[in-house]
């Protein structure tokens, strides 16, 4: 497995990547605000600029330092047919989730992806196919990415863009933002994705991790909000 930025993405691979990163992928990403709903209720995020800051910080601290380095390691494990190593990456990312709700976001989407990939004839790890434990959406994403010959950089771009699009969709409902503002934010924040991936490529396994206390608080407090549109 290579993480070469210049690895070619064939047309079939590109189409599969678009499928994996589509908002219509039935994994339920749209159902999770990942703490944003509480942050809006408390006034921490109240306009377009604050929304940008909230999401950009997560790109740098969570996507770059946790999710994408785990995806890279998981893809290497899948390429080497080393299911034990893949399970280690799965366990690592779940242990990195700071609250039960952030963990639920990952595992609920992971369960949905397991069901989908079975229908798409993607070979799954025994750990996932036999429901032996919680499965991370991020770690499982490595299986279709490798089997569909999607290079790491492309897979990371698709995974991050899908996450970003779901966050902006949640903000559009919650802040609220107009559709034009939402597209302006998407155009702005997507320019940060290449740097996010470059940072992730240089993160060693021992360096994986991070903490965003306000995000963790918002996620934990979401459970007791009086009214909620999202599951987290």
Written as one string, the DSSP assignment of 102-121 is: HHHHHHHHHHHHHHHHHHTT
Residue 147 CA: distances (Å) to CA of 12, 141, 161, 172, 192: 12, 10, 20, 35, 27
Cα distance between residue 226 and residue 232, in whole Å? 13
Instruction: Determine whether 176 is exposed, middle or buried from the number of CB atoms within 10 Å of its CB (0-12, 13-18, 19+).
Output: exposed
Cα distance between residue 3 and residue 7, in whole Å? 8
DSSP 30: G
**H or E element: which one contains 185?**
helix 179-189
- pTM score of the predicted model: 0.93
Q: What is the pLDDT along the chain (232 residues), one digit of tens a residue?
A: 444 444 567 889 899 999 999 989 999 998 999 999 999 999 999 999 999 999 999 999 999 999 999 999 999 999 999 999 999 999 999 999 999 999 999 999 999 999 999 999 999 988 877 766 799 999 999 999 999 999 999 999 999 999 999 999 999 999 999 999 999 999 999 999 999 999 999 999 999 999 999 999 999 998 887 788 888 7
pLDDT at 8: 67
Is the peptide bond prior to 176 cis by the omega test (within 30 degrees of 0)?
Answer: yes
- End-to-end Cα separation, the chain, in angstroms: 34
Cα distance between residue 84 and residue 86, in whole Å? 5
Report the length, in residues, of the chain: 232
**Residues whose CB is less than 8 angstroms from the CB of residue 190 and which lie 6 or more positions away in sequence, other chains included:** 161, 164
Please say whether the dihedral angle defined by the alpha carbons of residues 204, 99, 85 and 148, taken in this order, is positive or negative.
Answer: negative
Task: For residue 75, count other CB atoms closer than 10 A to its CB.
Answer: 26
Task: For residue 150, count other CB atoms closer than 10 A to its CB.
Answer: 26
- Helix and strand numbers (H, E) in the chain are 13, 0
Question: Taking Cα atoms as reference points, which of 109, 115, 152, 142 lies closest to residue 131?
Answer: 115
DSSP 31: G
User: Does residue 125 sit in helix, strand or coil?
Assistant: coil
Task: For residue 49, count other CB atoms closer than 10 A to its CB.
Answer: 10
Contact in structure between 186 and 48 (CB atoms under 8 Å): no
pLDDT at 141: 97
């Amino acid at each position: 497995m290579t993480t070469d930025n210049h690895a070619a993405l064939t047309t079939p691979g590109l189409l599969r990547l678009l499928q994996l990163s589509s908002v219509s992928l039935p994994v339920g990403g749209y159902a999770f605000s990942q703490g944003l709903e509480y942050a809006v209720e408390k006034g921490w995020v109240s306009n377009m600029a604050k929304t940008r800051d909230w999401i950009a910080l997560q790109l740098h601290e969570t996507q770059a330092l946790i999710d994408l380095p785990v995806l890279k390691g998981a893809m290497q494990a899948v390429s080497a047919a080393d299911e034990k190593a893949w399970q280690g990456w799965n366990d690592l990312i779940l242990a990195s989730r700071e609250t039960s709700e952030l963990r639920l976001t990952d595992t609920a989407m992971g369960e949905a992806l397991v069901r989908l990939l079975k229908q798409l004839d993607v070979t799954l790890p025994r750990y996932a196919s036999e429901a032996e434990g919680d499965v991370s959406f991020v770690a499982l994403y490595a299986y279709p990415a490798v089997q569909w010959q999607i290079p790491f950089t492309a897979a990371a771009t698709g995974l991050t863009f899908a996450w970003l699009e779901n966050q902006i969709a949640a903000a559009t409902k919650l802040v609220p933002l107009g559709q034009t503002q939402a597209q302006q934010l998407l155009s702005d924040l997507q320019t940060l994705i290449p740097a996010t991936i470059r940072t992730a490529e240089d993160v060693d396994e021992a360096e994986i991790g991070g903490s965003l206390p306000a995000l963790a608080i918002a996620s934990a407090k979401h459970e007791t909000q009086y009214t909620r549109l999202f599951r987290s």
